[in-house]
Amino acid sequence: MQRRSWVVMVLVLALLAACSSIESGEISTESLRMRVRVASSATATDVEVAFRGPQANQVVTLAAGDEVSVSVLGGTPQALTVEQPNSVNARYVGALPAVAEGTVLVVSLTRATFQDAPDTRVTVPSAPVVTAPVAGPAATAVVTAAWEPFADDQVELRFRVDACADVEDDEEDAIQGLVALLSETYEGADGTGTIEWPFPAVACDADLLVGRFTGEVALDPALGAAHPTPSRIVRFAAPIALSFTP
């Protein structure tokens, strides 16, 4: 198990603070490093792409005339939209309709001045077959999930907050934001793993999400070295609705 502790998150925030933001206009394609993240389920496919420059701390926003898009292999590309441009959190996001397990997605970078990189490919893995827990009240803050073991890839456990009782709107927003940062990672062969609900003093309804993920991305050969943070392609099983009470 690889636990993402609060210490790790503080270190990540410190590293982000040390980053600088630049535009892609003066950066050749072979000097760009791209990260792809996909969160797929039976109902939606969310895509996020981020770029770094030749130096690891250079976060890149695409200049005018440069564009990144995503499509199902053989389908119509959909342009991704920038979030937080010209900042250390700059990234490009979009959503496709739900796709089947095993679907190949193509991320295409087109450029005004430099060489295009039109053919980065990722394959959506199959969802894990989850056997526990069952939906309903959680017996404890520590939730045990079980799935049919598999030899390849890994499993991610995380929560998604639905609603909390007796809290102000801004408090619930803070809970949702913090919960979104927390996850646990296990080997697919483990067959079981645990994740702890981080707010045992608050009554909340939350979904347990169990996903199978891979970091394998076939980058277009025109692109440079790997992004300093890994790509992540996840396929989630159906969410499991749980209730937590103090």
Residues 154 and 176 placed together within one structural domain of the fold: yes
pLDDT > 70? residue 243: yes
Q: Which domain holds residue 200?
A: 130-212+238-244
* Residue 41, domain CATH: 2.60.40
pLDDT > 70? residue 145: yes
Residues 27 and 98 placed together within one structural domain of the fold: yes
pTM: 0.88
| Residues 4-51: tens digit of each pLDDT | 434 444 434 444 444 688 999 989 999 999 999 999 999 999 999 999
Query: What average pLDDT does the segment 188-213 reach?
Result: 97
Is residue 205, in this structure, part of any structural domain at all? yes
Is residue 222, in this structure, part of any structural domain at all? no
Distance, in Å, from the CA atom of 89 to the CA atom of 116, rounded to the nearest integer, reads 24
Mean of the per-residue pLDDT values of the chain: 92
| Residues 222-232: tens digit of each pLDDT | 998 888 889 99
Residues 115 and 180 placed together within one structural domain of the fold: no
Distance, in Å, from the CA atom of 213 to the CA atom of 165, rounded to the nearest integer, reads 32
Q: What is the pLDDT of residue 87?
A: 83
Cis peptide upstream of residue 133 (ω within 30 degrees of 0): yes
